Amino acid sequence: MIRPALLPQPRPSRRAILAAPALLALGASHAAAAERRLVAAGGVITEILYALGRQDLLVGVDSTSLHPAEAMREKANVGYVRALSAEGVLSLRPTDLLAVEGAGPPDTVKLIAEAGVKVVRISEDTSEAGVAARIRTIGAIADAADRAEALAAKVEAGFAALKQQRDALAARKRVLFVLSLQNGRVMVGGARSSADAIIRLAGAINAADSVEGFKPLTDEGLIAAAPDVVLMMKHNEHAASADQVFSQPALSATPAARTRALVAMDGLYLLGFGPRTPDAARDLMAAVYAGPRP
Percent pLDDT > 70 in the chain is 87
pLDDT band at 114 (very low <50, low <70, confident <90, very high): very high
pLDDT surpasses 90 at 148: yes
Mean pLDDT of 239-260: 93
The CATH number of 169-290 is which of 3.40.50.1980, 3.30.420.40, 3.30.70.380, 3.30.70.3040? Answer: 3.40.50.1980
Amino acid letter for position 197? A
Q: Which residues pair with 85 in a beta bridge?
A: none
Closest CA to 148 of 66, 49, 61: 49
Residues 6 or more apart whose CB falls under 8 angstroms from that of 208 comprise 176, 177, 188, 189, 190, 191, 196, 217, 221, 225
Superfamily (CATH) of domain 38-163: Nitrogenase molybdenum iron protein domain (3.40.50.1980)
Q: Where are the beta strands (DSSP E) in the chain?
A: 38-41, 58-61, 76-77, 96-100, 118-122, 174-182, 185-189, 205-206, 214-217, 229-234, 262-266
At residue 9, the pLDDT reads 39
The model's pLDDT over 167-197, given as tens digits with 9 standing for 90+, comes to 999 999 999 999 999 888 899 999 999 999 9
Q: Which residues pair with 119 in a beta bridge?
A: 97
Q: What is the residue-averaged pLDDT of the chain?
A: 88
